[in-house]
Amino acid sequence: MTSAWSSDELERIGRAEELHIAPERGDGTLLRETPVWVVRVDDQVDVRTWYRRENGWFGRVVDSRRARIHVVGLQAQVVVEDVDDNAELQAVDAAYPDKYGRYGEATVAQMTTPEASATTLRLVPLGPLEAELLSCLAGHQGDDREAEGGDG
């Protein structure tokens, strides 16, 4: 159901200072975009938060497991996967200071603590057909609520 990032997409994401992420609601509508730091490790795209919360972009994207992201020249729908492989987490830990080290050690160190590392999420692009299918399914969920006489 998912596809791989193209080399052009990986280059755009890798060069981006920030990635804008908008969690998707169950009905397919998007929540507010939030700019976040993003790193690329080989052919993977990863984001994390320095402080795990149930609200905000992180909590909402973990709940829905879907989001729309954009960087300059690229917009994509993604599924969100937890990263729990130690080698992969270490590679992401190393990628943050490599990319964002100019912000100072104290700032970047917040993104590489064990707590922050535990929040690492992999963004996996949906192919166009999968994205359209999910959008249609979400639209039908809204139709079901209307048929039941409400939106809640």
- pLDDT tens track for 35-74: 999 999 999 999 999 877 778 899 999 999 999 999 999 9
Number of neighbours of residue 132 by Cβ within 10 angstroms: 12
Burial zone of 134 (CB within 10 Å; 0-12 exposed, 13-18 middle, 19+ buried): middle
- Which CATH homologous superfamily contains domain 7-142? Electron Transport, Fmn-binding Protein; Chain A (2.30.110.10)
What is the number of alpha carbons within 13 Å of residue 125 lying toward its C-beta?
19
- Please, which pLDDT band fits residue 133 given cuts at 50, 70 and 90? low
Average pLDDT of the chain, as a whole number: 87
Q: Quick: pLDDT tens for 104-122.
A: 999 999 999 999 999 999 9
- Please, which pLDDT band fits residue 151 given cuts at 50, 70 and 90? very low
